[in-house]
Every structure is written in structure tokens, then in C-alpha cells.
Amino acid sequence: MKIAYIYFGIKILRISVFIQFFVKKRLILQNIFYKMITEKLTGMGVALVTPFKKDESIDFDALAHLIEYQINSGTNYLVVCGTTAETPTLSDEEKNEIKKFVVEQVNGRLPLVYGGVGGNNTKKLVEKLRNEDFSGYDALLSVSPYYNKPSQEGIYQHFAALAQASPLPLIAYNVPSRTGVNMTCETTLRIAREFPQICAIKEASGLIGQIDEMIKQKPADFQIISGDDSITFPLIMLGAIGVISVIGNAFPREFSRMVRLALGGDYETARIIHHRFNELNKLLFVEGSPSGVKSVLAHFGYIENILRLPLVPNTTTTTEKINQVLDELGL
């Protein structure tokens, strides 16, 4: 009997050692994986617009030109089918067409984030994450639930469900001006600590105190990405790893340079570029986004200045102000 106990004790010990080895190895691999994701998301990502033809069909030729413009101008990664792409007005079929087209056009030259996985129906999003093909993408971006205004506990449980279903690292997106509810620092940190699958947050609350506290308390493998071009410079100084940019659609070379300089610690030169674009950043959002940046892209001849209702092009007054600033900047 004693021999049997000793035998089983040795077996249990071996199994325990194997489990400890497996868990340790898994954690090491997981840390390496998330470090790689962080590197891919560092710098300036651009939330691509969707170019339309005059009949409001998608202009894939113009989209191809925009992608090449980004690749050749210092952009670090692309965000596909985010809010800037007017996704509420795109059909599921159109989103899938864009998703595949961008992968083929980029052909591995830049990391890709797919943003078409946000919404306020958690169950539907979980099914989407489990069943949809995200081949060619490095991460997913999901906005906090909008319109039905969940509590902080509801936001937590929503992202918990998405984290457990997502086949790729997930970036949460806090933009209370659009969703109606702020994702608090406490909720974000709770999610970050419990779900390593959620690797970052795109923060567009404009609450610098909240973001600063988040950066101070976050886990090492969880990152903060600016979701607001106008405060990207100060957020990088606080510890953000970059921006998912709107203005970068039109000025990828200039804005990515500001981000790189700030990340490299050359704050004086970065500050000059930041101040240079201050007025333009404000004007681009006067009549909503992406109306502003589309007017600039049309001014440069990259796209037709066409949006789908309920969004409309900028008024003549705003467009003239934007063009005046462009002239003053020599752009």
C-alpha cells in the first residue's frame, strides 16, 4: 500500500511540474506575443476614410491610391472600417469587400487593425467574432456600446464577453462624445488586468486627468493610444504609445513625424508641428467627421468630396476656412 501511495505521489508531482512548466512557457510566449502587438501599434495609425463615387458606390481605385499614399508616407498601421470610414452607412457586404480589398492591397507592408466589430448588441458581436474571417489583420478595434448607455458594470461585462470570443488582440475604444457614456479609468483598468486579450484602449474622452491616471496604474502589457489628434502630443508625453489618427489621412508624413519625434523624446520639434496643426485640427471637426478630412482630401484631388447621408460635405464657409489655413501652412 505504501509503495502504491509513493507511486501515485510521484505521478502527481510529475504532473504538477509539467503543468507549472506549461503555464510558465505559455506566459512567456504570451508576453512575447503582446510585446509584438505593442510594437505594431506604436506610432501613428490612420483610420482610413471610405472614398465614394458620385453614385455613392465605393471608389476602390481611390481607396487603393490612399493606401499607397499612407504606405509611402510614414504611417505605422492602418485601421479599416472604423467610424471615420462611415461604417454605419456601409452594408455588411461592403464592409467585407473593404476588409478583403485592404488586405490584398497592403500585402503585408503595414500592420492592419479591423474596426468593424463595435456595437451595442453584445451577443451579436460575440457571434461575429467567433464566425467572421479576420485573415490578414493583427488586431481588432471595438467601440464601447452606444445609445443604450450601459452602466460601468455593463461596459465591463460587454468587453469581458468580447475578450473571451475574440480570435485576435482587441483594442477597446472610449469616445463618450459619440457613445453617450464615458468608460472610466476604474473600468478600463479592471478590464486590462483581467483580460490580457484586450491589449490597448483608444482613448478619445479628452479627459487628460483620467488618461494620465490610467497610464500611471495600467499593467505593463496594456497600452494607451490617443484617439484625438489635437491632444496626441501631450498624451505621448504622459506615456501613450501613439495615435489612431483622422488628420493622418491627409497629412501622414507630417503628423507621423510629430508622433515619431515625441516618442523619441524630441519634444521641442514635435511641439512645433503640434502647434502648426492646431487650428486645422479644430476646423476638421466643426461639421463632423469625416466631413472635414474628406474636404481636404478632395482639395488635394485624392477623392471625390462625397459622403453618405446623414453625413454631408462641409459648408462653403467651413471649406473656405480650411483652404485658407492650408494656404497659410503652405500645404
Residues known to be catalytic: 173, 202
Please tell me the distance from the alpha carbon of residue 103 to that of residue 8, in angstroms, as a whole number. 54
The amino acid present at 128, given as its one-letter code, is K
The rounded distance, in Å, linking the Cα atoms of 32 and 21 is 17
Q: Are strands 242-245 and 139-143 parallel, antiparallel or unpaired?
A: unpaired
Helix ranges, 41-175 (H): 60-71, 92-106, 122-131, 152-165
CB distance 292 to 49 below 8 Å: no
279/301 Cα distance (integer angstroms): 22
Q: How far apart are CA 52 and CA 80, in angstroms?
A: 15
Closest listed residue to residue 252, CA positions, set 190, 159, 331: 331
The 3-state DSSP class for residue 225 equals: strand
Contact 304, 51 (CB under 8 A): yes
User: What letter does residue 174 receive in the DSSP assignment?
Assistant: E
Distance between terminal CA atoms of the chain?
A: 87
Phi then psi for 330, rounded to 5 degrees? Answer: 70, 30
> How far, CA to CA in Å, does 292 sit from each of 41, 49, 170, 318?
25, 11, 28, 9
Query: Beta-carbon neighbour count of residue 64 at 10 Å?
Result: 15
Omega before 88 within 30 of 0, i.e. cis:
no
Instruction: For residue 263, give the C-alpha cell.
Output: 516618442
Cβ(290)–Cβ(246) below 8 Å: yes
